[in-house]
Amino acid sequence: MAVSVGAEGNMNSRENFAAGAVLNLDVNFASSFAIGFNITGSSSFSDFFVIEHISFIRWYFLGNNYTGWFAQADIGTYIFFEDERATPLILGGLRGGMRLPLGTKFFIEPYGRFGHPFVFGIGILTGVLF
C-alpha cells in the first residue's frame, strides 16, 4: 500500500492552465497491479475550481516490486464550480509514469495523463510505502 501527495499542472480551466494538489492512495495486488483512489483539486486562480474523484487500476509493465514504468486507467467524477454553481461530469482517462524508489519506504512519481473533460495533466507525487 502507498500514500502520496503532489502537485499537477493541467487544463482544468476555461482558459490557459490550472494548478492542482493531489492526494493518492493505492493498494498493490497480484504481481504487478495496483488499484487505488485519487483526489485532485485544481484552480485557475480566477472563478473556476475543479475537484476530481478518481478510481484507478495500474499496471507496472516494466518494473518490479511495484516500481518502474506504469500505465493506468482512470474513471471517476469531475465537478467544476463556476459562478457559485457546481456541475458534475463523468471523468475518464489514461495515465503513464514512473515510480522511482528513494530507499525502501519512499518514492517519487512523475506522470502525465490525458482524458475527458480535463484534456491533459502533468504532475509529480511523493509518497511512502507501507
The CATH number covering residue 24 comes to 2.40.160.20
Total domains present in the chain: 1
Pairing of strands 33-43, 119-129: unpaired
Question: For the chain, which residues score pLDDT lower than 70?
Answer: none
DSSP one-letter string for 61-128:
SS-STT-EEEEEEEEEEEEEEETTEEEEEEEEEEEEEEEEEETTTEEEEEEEEEEETTEEEEEEEEEE
How high is the pLDDT of residue 46?
Answer: 81
Domain coverage including residue 82: 2-129
How high is the pLDDT of residue 85?
Answer: 93
Q: Burial code of 69-96, b = ≥16 C-beta within 10 A, e = fewer?
A: ebebebebebebeeeeeeeeeebebebe
